[in-house]
Structure 1
Amino acid sequence: MVDQVKLMIAEEQKFQGKALSLSHTKTAITTMKEKFTEQQLQMFEQSCFGHLLRIEDLKWTSPIVHGLLLRKADPKTVSQLNGIKFIVGNKVIQFTAQQFCIVTRLRFGNLPFILIPTNENCSLKRKYFANDKTVNLLELEKAFLKCDDEDDVLKLGFIYFAVFVLLGSEKHVHIDMRYLKLAEDLEEFGKYPWGAITSE
């Protein structure tokens, strides 16, 4: 019942704001298309992320996102909380992680164990980040742009897309180093439950 569900932010406490998107979608996809060969681009298009190349021209509408976030239901007043719920009009609507994965066509499930990469067990770590315990988005981007090894360009490109487009963050933020190890096997990289990560 809508009457029992309360807003997280009461109507009288609404405020003007601008919801930010930290995804570098347009820039990242343009960079990848310029860096990849035709064959590499075709391989990427056939991957778990391929269909997402079409979001390059997707417009971010911060007023709509901000308005919807102001309608978020207080979880303490919601029974059977599954995902995120909003009060829109006179109805409670919800958006679940499973629905997110259906819309994005990304896998959903338990996160598998991935070894922490070292110079001994991960060639990407050894070749491009041998002296680094952590790597931020800017350093990853530099390595991707400078890379001239055909196989490594593709592997770094997958990580680049994941962190720049799907996960989105400021360029000084560190990436999860385990993605370097995961990208060594692109088949396993494609099976990774990216939907579970991005819907959090």
Structure 2
Amino acid sequence: MGDGKESQGQAPTDSSKTASSNKKGMSMSKLLVPFQDHFLGRVTYRDGRALVDIKKRFVELGLIERAEESPFKKFLLASEFHFLGVLVHELMLRKIATQKEDEVHFFLGLKSCRFSVRNFSLVTGLNFSFAASQAELDEHLTSDRLINEHFNDVEKVKLLQLENAFKTCIVVEDVYKLGLCLLVEGVLNSIERNLNIWRDILKIIKDINNFFSYPWGKFSYKRLLNSCKKGMQRLKAN
């Protein structure tokens, strides 16, 4: 027993140190951006104004409780958070190669970590499968009422136009529908205000239940994944 205790208290041998160093070296060699090419930076993000505006208008019109029972409740119930751009930047620099196209892998604390659709689903609680049939979807894509009444039947609708329509609309049910569309495009997809939204979203919202059954989680995760997989080297010059 004495020998056993002594062996537990012994410092790591040279061979164990070498093995640990080799393991670290092998993992570091998998970095998509070599360690010697790492650079200081800060990741920017869309501010949370869209979500704040949505929650505020919903509260004013007595819609917030209804919205908090929707599939987007985790976003509406979430408290304010502080985004750390430097932390996210450093995380992106530690990406490592993976053959799984639907995941992003990182090398953190001498360990390989991954971010997958499962993690995203647990955090957001969003739907990833579409229960309605294609025929049911096509049926709802024929309704142009919101586009006609709030956007003068234009071919393209920008996020800024959607924001303005949401803020100025006086029909409570339409405010609710426009707010949900804004939540998807302005929060989940987080597009620039001068870019066009997906126009069909204003048709799908005709039926709230159909809208909620749409796989917003699948589409927003794909968008996030594409953003995470962007190379960091091209940002070095900035």
Please tell me whether the aligned partners of residues 117 and 125 of structure 1 are also in contact (alpha carbons under 8 angstroms). Answer: no
Please tell me whether the aligned partners of residues 143 and 206 of structure 2 are also in contact (alpha carbons under 8 angstroms). Answer: no
**Taking structure 1 as the reference length, what is the TM-score of the superposition?**
0.86
- Code of the aligned partner of 2:68: E
Structure 1 residue runs of 4+, over 6 Å off? Answer: none
Distance 1:90 1:28, change over 3 A: same
Distance 1:137 1:145, change over 3 A: same
- Code of the aligned partner of 1:17: G
Following superposition of structure 1 onto structure 2, how do residues 119-138 of structure 1 map, counting pairs within 5 Å? 121-138=143-160
1:18: how far off?
1.1
Please tell me whether the aligned partners of residues 29 and 56 of structure 1 are also in contact (alpha carbons under 8 angstroms). Answer: no
1:128: how far off?
1.1
Following superposition of structure 1 onto structure 2, how do residues 62-141 of structure 1 map, counting pairs within 5 Å? 62-74=85-97, 78-80=98-100, 82-109=102-129, 114-115=137-138, 121-141=143-163
1:29: how far off?
2.7
Cα displacement string for residues 152-190 of structure 1 (whole angstroms, at most 9, x for unaligned residues): 110001011111111112110111111111111111111
Which sits farther off after the overlay, 4-13 or 85-94?
4-13
| Residues in 2 aligned to 1:165 and 1:116: alpha-carbon distance in whole angstroms | 27
Partner SS for 1:181: helix
2:189 match: 167
Please tell me whether the aligned partners of residues 72 and 85 of structure 1 are also in contact (alpha carbons under 8 angstroms). Answer: yes
**Taking structure 2 as the reference length, what is the TM-score of the superposition?**
0.73
Please tell me whether the aligned partners of residues 140 and 204 of structure 2 are also in contact (alpha carbons under 8 angstroms). Answer: no
Larger Rg: 2
Cα displacement string for residues 52-92 of structure 1 (whole angstroms, at most 9, x for unaligned residues): 12335111111111110000112xxx355551111112211
Following superposition of structure 1 onto structure 2, how do residues 19-58 of structure 1 map, counting pairs within 5 Å? 19-22=43-46, 24-25=47-48, 27-36=49-58, 37-58=60-81
Larger RCO, structures 1/2 (Cα 8 Å, 6+ apart): 1
1:12 match: 36
Cα displacement string for residues 83-110 of structure 1 (whole angstroms, at most 9, x for unaligned residues): 1111112211111112211121111136
1:150 match: 172
Superposed CA RMSD in Å reads: 2.4
Q: Which has the higher helix share?
A: 2
Structure 2: where are the runs of 5+ without partners? 1-22, 223-238
Please tell me whether the aligned partners of residues 86 and 93 of structure 1 are also in contact (alpha carbons under 8 angstroms). Answer: yes
Distance 1:56 1:175, change over 3 A: farther
